[in-house]
């Protein structure tokens, strides 16, 4: 390795360890735990209701304020979250922290659902329209209008631009796409970069409606496709599944000694890698999903909060779990492979095919990563609009497209370090805002559910009178 590059990587590693140390982990999980308790385990009690909102049409949405349907807004958020984190991120977490990292991903996701609910509720409550007539919302607006802190709002917007341009939004996704295209189809990296840049430009120039239109079609199909592939592997290894789950739980509290190609991991490393990679995947607490939620056609901030929190459920509780268990039951986590190569090895072993296994991972990676780029292009656009106005959108999109081409030629370890650092920096002002606006979230929630209960009781009383 180049000495200068090695020095830079070591420096970034120190910064990453500082940012993702105990203080941020406590703030991240602690916020979710606090909201879970104050909201009465809303992510468990009202998950069926939230899922019904996702899969049913609300006729009132057509006349409500917003740019896209509630479902399209959720798909836009999911397009940004269901990406390399579900394939590469899970493998990286387990490679670093052992099978126990998956348990901490589950726990972070469970509490993260309450966090996602709160931040998306606030996004709708404090949203406004820009000069082009599109909805603006997210942490920038509830930090400024709710908390009353413009400097925190600007700090969040600045860090989010960093994530969009140098973190989740570009480098890890582009690198995953060009590698998958080269390894599976022997397409030269340069060709893939050109094609990817043109595709991203075609979709993103149409704004949120174009992005949400693509996301609402691609996201459900690609998620179902990947889940089916995982189920096929797990079904073929059904006898090993109970012991795999037991290993995940036991390793979470005991760490894991070196074995095979795995170098061993402490409990703290399992917690750190599980939570960090979990947040990278579902983005609960980062403040990204609220920017998509703010565009939803809805008159109820609580209803959109419930709809949005299912994103974490789909992303981590379902898809990341599928990937993690596939890695454990096939023994891929003990191999010498890492990242996408580890997941490819797991599918090849589980399906008994050195052709279909890698092909499934490659196709999944390309679709997942592509939609993530689209979602984060929109998030960056919302932040650049907040900081500099609508006139800055076109220059931003040009720079974003240039960065897509650059991301194809960076080293993978360096990419993940940069992504981790800017993720952590972005989460801090957002979490501060959630803590300071907690009573607003609780008040809005109580009002919504009390009114919903009153309407239900009123209908029940009317039906009884009719029966009599």
The average pLDDT across 311-320 equals 93
238-277 per-position pLDDT tens digit: 999 999 999 999 988 887 766 656 665 678 788 878 887 7
pLDDT of 260: 59
Q: Which of 10-14, 251-255, 454-458 has the lowest mean pLDDT?
A: 454-458
Three-state secondary structure call for residue 129 = strand
pLDDT at 150: 96
Distance in angstroms (rounded) separating the CA atoms of residues 201 and 308: 27
Query: What is the overall mean pLDDT for the chain?
Result: 86
Residues 412-437 have a mean pLDDT of 85
Which stretch of 33-37, 320-324, 342-346, 414-418 has the lowest confidence by average pLDDT?
A: 414-418
Q: Name the strand (E) or helix (H) holding 155.
A: helix 150-166
Length of the chain (residues): 468
Q: What are phi and psi of 296, to 5 degrees?
A: -70, 145
Distance CA 235, CA 94 (A): 21
Q: Is the pLDDT of residue 353 over 90?
A: no
- Phi, psi at residue 132, to the nearest 5°? -90, 0
Please give the DSSP secondary-structure letter assigned to residue 240: G
Q: How far is CA 363 from CA 193, 203, 374, in A?
A: 16, 20, 17
**Cα R_g (the chain), whole angstroms:** 22
pLDDT for res 468: 45
- Give whichever of 19-23, 29-33, 97-101, 206-210 has the largest mean pLDDT: 29-33
Asked whether 254 and 142 are in contact (CB, 8 A), the reply is no
Residue 124 · residue 293 · CB < 8 Å:
yes
Show Cβ contacts of residue 99 under 8 Å, excluding neighbours closer than 6 positions.
244, 247, 248, 251, 256, 324, 328, 333
CA 112 to centroid of chain Cα atoms: 11
| Six token digits for residue 111 | 């509490």
pLDDT band at 460 (very low <50, low <70, confident <90, very high): low
Dist. CA 218–CA 216, nearest whole Å: 6
Helices (H) and strands (E) in the chain, counts: 23, 2
Provide the whole-model pTM. 0.89
- List, in sequence order, every residue forming a beta bridge with 129; answer none if it has no partner: 135
The answer to whether 149 touches 386, Cβ cutoff 8 Å, is no
- What does each C-alpha distance from 407 to 33, 171, 177, 400, 423 come to in angstroms? 36, 4, 10, 11, 17
Q: Quick one: average pLDDT of 387-394?
A: 92
Cα separation of 173 and 327, whole Å?
Answer: 21
**Run of H or E including 179:** helix 171-185
Task: Say how far apart CA 426 and CA 275 lie, in whole Å.
Answer: 15
φ, ψ of residue 263 to 5 degrees: the values are -90, -5
**Distance between CA atoms of residues 110 and 328, nearest Å:** 21
Q: What are phi and psi of 184, to 5 degrees?
A: -90, -35
| CA within 13 Å, CB half, 263 | 8
Mean pLDDT of 104-112: 92
Give the residue among 289, 387, 73, 76 at the shortest CA–CA distance from 203.
76
Residues 6+ apart with CB under 8 A from 188: 182
- Cα–Cα nearest to 284, from 439, 93, 123, 81: 81
């Amino acid at each position: 390795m180049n000495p200068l590059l090695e020095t830079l990587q070591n420096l970034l590693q120190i910064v990453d360890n500082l940012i993702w140390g105990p203080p941020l982990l406590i703030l991240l999980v602690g916020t979710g735990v606090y909201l879970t308790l104050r909201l009465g385990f809303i992510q468990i009690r009202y998950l069926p209701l939230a899922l019904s909102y996702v899969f049913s049409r609300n006729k009132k949405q057509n006349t409500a304020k917003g740019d896209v349907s509630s479902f399209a807004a959720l798909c836009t958020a999911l397009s940004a979250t269901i990406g390399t984190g579900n394939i590469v991120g899970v493998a990286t977490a387990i490679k670093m922290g052992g099978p126990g990292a998956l348990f901490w991903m589950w726990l972070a996701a469970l509490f993260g659902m309450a966090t996602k609910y709160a931040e998306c509720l606030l996004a709708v409550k404090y949203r406004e329209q820009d000069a082009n007539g599109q909805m603006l919302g997210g942490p920038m607006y509830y930090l400024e209008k709710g908390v009353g802190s413009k400097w925190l709002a600007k700090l969040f917007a600045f860090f989010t631009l960093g994530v969009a341009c140098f973190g989740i939004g570009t480098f890890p996704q582009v690198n995953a796409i060009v590698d998958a295209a080269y390894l599976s189809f022997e397409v030269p990296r340069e060709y893939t970069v050109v094609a990817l840049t043109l595709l991203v430009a075609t979709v993103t120039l149409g704004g949120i409606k174009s992005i949400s239109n693509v996301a609402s079609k691609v996201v459900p199909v690609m998620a179902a496709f990947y889940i089916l592939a995982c189920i096929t592997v797990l079904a073929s290894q059904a006898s090993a599944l109970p012991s795999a789950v037991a290993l995940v739980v036991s390793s979470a509290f005991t760490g894991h000694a070196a074995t095979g190609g795995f170098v061993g991991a402490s409990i703290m490393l399992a917690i750190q890698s599980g939570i960090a990679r979990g947040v990278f995947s579902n983005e609960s607490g980062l403040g990204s999903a609220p920017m998509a939620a703010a565009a939803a056609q809805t008159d109820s901030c609580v209803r959109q909060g419930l709809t949005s929190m299912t994103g974490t459920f789909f992303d981590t509780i379902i898809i990341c779990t599928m990937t993690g268990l596939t890695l454990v039951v096939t023994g891929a986590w003990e191999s010498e492979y890492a990242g996408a190569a580890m997941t490819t090895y797991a599918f090849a072993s589980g399906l008994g095919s050195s052709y279909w296994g890698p092909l499934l991972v490659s196709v999944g990676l390309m679709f997942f990563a592509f939609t993530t780029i689209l979602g984060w292009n929109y998030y960056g656009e919302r932040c650049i609009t907040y900081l500099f106005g609508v006139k800055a959108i076109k220059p931003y999109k040009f720079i974003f497209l240039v960065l897509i081409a650059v991301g194809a030629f960076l080293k993978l370890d360096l990419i993940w370090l940069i992504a981790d650092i800017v993720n952590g920096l972005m989460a801090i002002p957002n979490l501060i805002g959630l803590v300071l606006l907690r009573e607003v979230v609780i008040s809005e929630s109580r009002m919504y559910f009390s009114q919903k209960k009153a309407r239900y009781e009123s209908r029940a009383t009317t039906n009884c009178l009719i029966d009599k």
